[in-house]
């Protein structure tokens, strides 16, 4: 079943095109990785889906309904967005930061259900032991888990993650991606991840969308998209593709000299 239908999407920053005629179908309960060089439109696409940015042309349908017709509360209850990072929150505990994600459901005060949901998500992410810690004093990996928790307590149908493994060591990269995979499989939600690491994309994504210069260059399974020819065309890098334990891995070899 198609969860998100994107048709002819175009967006520009000060007349500089960032997305050009982007057309994608994203299915229910799948993990989709958006890959491509810097400036290819990955983050912009996520922000258009979450209605942070308003496209100049084209449309986005979620469950068959145009996102333009969603109320602010509807979009917040449907889509959870995890930014690349936050420089600093005002002084707040982990519990308080995660509780912010319950705003679409809060009345005049937080309910027992809201508090239970926060602790339920903290436990799922194995960070309940830092619930009373100051968010600003956490490590990068811990902060990223807290931001994911904040999105999850919205109880979204769609989870958007913008470079969730950026600036994390290899252990925390795998932890974050395993959390996303587990949440998608447990709750049947759809996850769209903008990510630079092609090997993480290959390992965890059901499908990959490869972008170049604001356009969709290729879309399909990791095997269909992560080919030497595609990567050389998009990244100007020669690579070797190997298979290990049923997964593809990309080994960079050298810059494509013909691109100089």
Q: Tell me which residues of the chain have a pLDDT lower than 70.
A: 87-89, 106-108, 257-260
In DSSP notation, 37-65 reads STTSSHHHHHHHHTTSS--SEEEEEETTE
CA dihedral angle for residue 259, residue 239, residue 209, residue 147, rounded to 10 degrees: -110
Q: What is the value of pTM for the model shown?
A: 0.91
Query: Under a CB-based contact definition with an 8 Å cutoff, are residues 32 and 209 in contact?
Result: yes
Q: Note the pLDDT of residue 260.
A: 46
pLDDT number for residue 38: 93
- Those residues whose C-beta lies under 8 Å from the C-beta of residue 246, and which sit 6 or more positions away, are none
Q: How far apart are CA 90 and CA 35, in angstroms?
A: 32
pLDDT for 25? 97
At 88 the pLDDT is 65
CB-based contacts of 159, cutoff 8 Å, min separation 6: 79, 80, 82, 151, 152, 180, 183, 184, 189, 190, 191, 192
């Amino acid at each position: 079943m198609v969860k998100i239908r994107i048709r002819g999407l175009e967006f520009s920053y000060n007349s500089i095109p960032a997305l050009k005629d982007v057309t994608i179908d994203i299915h229910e309960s799948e993990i989709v990785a958006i890959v491509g060089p810097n400036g290819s439109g990955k983050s912009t696409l996520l922000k258009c889906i979450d209605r942070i940015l308003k496209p100049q042309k084209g449309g986005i349908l979620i469950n068959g309904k145009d996102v333009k017709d969603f109320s602010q509360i509807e979009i917040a209850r449907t889509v959870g967005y995890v930014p690349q990072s936050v420089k600093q929150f005002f002084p707040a505990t982990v519990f308080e930061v995660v509780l912010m994600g319950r705003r679409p459901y809060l009345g005049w005060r937080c309910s027992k259900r809201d508090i239970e949901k926060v602790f339920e998500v903290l436990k799922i992410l194995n960070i309940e032991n830092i619930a009373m810690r100051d968010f600003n004093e956490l490590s990068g990996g811990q902060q990223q888990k807290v931001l994911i928790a904040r999105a999850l307590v919205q109880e979204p149908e769609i989870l958007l993650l913008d470079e969730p493994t950026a600036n994390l060591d290899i252990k925390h990269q795998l932890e974050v991606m395993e959390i996303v995979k587990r949440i998608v499989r447990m709750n049947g939600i759809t996850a769209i991840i903008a990510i630079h690491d092609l090997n993480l994309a290959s390992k965890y994504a059901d499908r990959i969308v490869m972008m170049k210069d604001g356009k969709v260059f290729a879309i399909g399974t990791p095997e269909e998209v992560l080919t030497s020819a595609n990567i050389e065309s998009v990244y100007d890098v020669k690579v070797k593709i190997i298979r290990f334990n049923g997964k593809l891995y990309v080994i960079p070899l050298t810059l494509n000299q013909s691109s100089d």
